[in-house]
Amino acid sequence: MFERIGLLALLASVTLPAQEGPVPLSTWRLHAPKAVKLTDGVHFRWVVAPDNSLLLSFGQPNGKWTIQRLTGWETRRPTVQTTTFPYNFPGCAYPHCGQPVLAKDGQFFVVPLGYRPIPDATGYHRGEALMVVLDLPDLRVVRTLISDRDLAFTDLLMEEGGVLILETFRVATLPYQATAVTLPNLEPIAKCDYAIRIPNSGRGPGTEIAKTADNCSGFLAAAHLSNIQELALSPGDSRFSGLAGPECDQELMNRENTRALYRCGKEYFGDPYGDFGITFWHALKVLSVPDGKPLLSVPLHFYDSTSSGLFAHGNEGEYLLVRHGLKIEAYRLP
């Protein structure tokens, strides 16, 4: 008890200087004050579509899931489209739940929405997974699929030529399995089993496919991939992870790979093994790459671990969209 009180007293004694940041060009608040917080503390998932509209995905306590599409978000009066569909599953209990995955041609997007366990006669539980496919221009549900739980626990790797590529981890000699499914029907058409050699720094540059099964040659053709090594790539480009300094982690890059977003903070009370520590956050920063020129710095409250940003293009150039709770701010980049 004494140690805990001492730590709280130490935290209370830390004084952080007030930070003044840039003024956003526009601010918009999610019109769903009862949006259910997801497991990582955020109220909604979001993504920028190929047509530069903004998609928001969130659950509500009335058993409904809602998708909103914002156009003209860089103005003070954006246009909002909304569609809602039933969501009778117990919750979003895994990292990708609710995150829209977009087809590159902008026609469809997929929303994975978790699973629910169902006991069988043997006492074991099988799971049902829910995935929803929507037409982006009309924001209309075109396919709802309830399948086995592996579909919900998959990583949605990419979309190529109207084919969605899913990756599942299993306990097996070749632990990774990629499945190619059609859009919008989500029909499996090919599979590939493989093992990955991952460097100590984690899945990113240097990751490679170490071994594959015989079924992978047909998978490449069905998934429109030219090389099996494309499956080893992690989402995002982390080549410039140290460009903003040792206290900043790279979050993402823009489409043109000319700008990178970083979340910056300083860790206190850490141990040599990295098992304990408290990070005081201070800013989201945008730098040009590869030269590292600072372009924007948006201050964060020191306890703010959920705010995030996305790059987007508007009528007057490129912007950084920043999410703070239910609020979205648009900052124009130089």
Residue 229, helix vs strand vs coil: helix
- Please state, in angstroms and rounded to a whole number, the distance separating the CA atoms of residues 177 and 175: 7
* 2 part of a folded domain: no
State pLDDT tens for residues 197-223. 877 656 666 677 888 888 888 888 888
Same structural domain for residues 289 and 331?
yes
Q: Between residues 176 and 28, which one has the greater pLDDT? A: 28
Q: Which two tokens stand for residue 234?
A: 């992690």
Q: pLDDT tier at 13 (50, 70, 90 boundaries)?
A: very low
Q: Do the Cβ atoms of 227 and 216 come closer than 8 Å? A: no
Most confident of 138-147, 158-167, 324-333: 324-333
Domain of residue 145: give its range: 20-153
Q: Residue 45: CB partners within 8 Å, gap ≥ 6?
A: 38, 56, 57, 58, 97, 98, 99, 100
The alpha helices in the chain, defined as continuous H runs, are: 2-13, 216-222
Is 10 part of any domain?
Answer: no
pLDDT in tens, 80-93: 999 998 877 666 65
132 and 180: one domain?
no
Tell the residue number behind the tokens 């823009």, with chain if given. Answer: 254
pTM: predicted TM-score of the whole model, two decimal places: 0.81
> Residue 134 domain-assigned?
yes
Paired tokens of 302: 């020191």
Assess if residue 13 is contained within a domain.
no
Total number of domains constituting the chain: 3
- Asked if the structure places residue 283 within a domain, the reply is yes
Q: Does the pLDDT at position 67 exceed 90?
A: yes
* Domain membership flag for residue 11: no
Whether 51 maps to a domain, the answer reads: yes
Local structure of residue 31 (DSSP, 8 states): S
Residues 6 or more apart whose Cβ sits within 8 Å of residue 217: none
pLDDT band at 151 (very low <50, low <70, confident <90, very high): low
Q: Single out the residue in 111, 131, 153 at which a domain terminates.
A: 153
Chain segment 274-333, per-residue pLDDT in tens? 566 678 899 999 999 999 999 999 999 878 888 999 999 988 899 999 999 889 999 999
Inform me whether the pLDDT recorded for 46 exceeds 70.
yes
Would you state the structure tokens that stand for residue 98, as one six-digit string?
Answer: 């609710």
Please, what's the b/e burial string for 89-112 (b: 16 or more CB within 10 A of its CB; e: otherwise)?
beebeeebbbbbbbbeeeebbbbb
Asked if 24 and 148 sit in the same domain, the reply is: yes
One DSSP character per residue, 93-107 reads -STTTT--EE-TTSS
CB atoms within 10 A of CB 215: 14
Strand partners, 28: 328
